[in-house]
Amino acid sequence: MKDAHMQTFTVLFGLLVALTAQGLTLPEASASEREEKPTDAEEIDVDSPRQSVMSFIDAAARRDFERASAYLELQDTQAGQGPELAARLFNVVTRRLGTPTESVSSGAAGDRNDGLPRNVDQIGTIALTGREQPVRLVARDDRSPRWKFSSRTVARIDGWYEELPDYWL
Nearest to 71 by CA among 141, 132, 124, 146: 146
Residue 37, pLDDT score: 40
What mean pLDDT is reported for the chain? 78
Cβ atoms 13, 25 nearer than 8 A: no
pLDDT tens-digit series, residues 127-145: 877 889 999 999 987 666 6
pTM: 0.71
Whether the predicted pLDDT of 38 surpasses 90: no
- Considering the chain, what percentage of its residues have pLDDT values greater than 90? 47
Whether the predicted pLDDT of 101 surpasses 50: yes
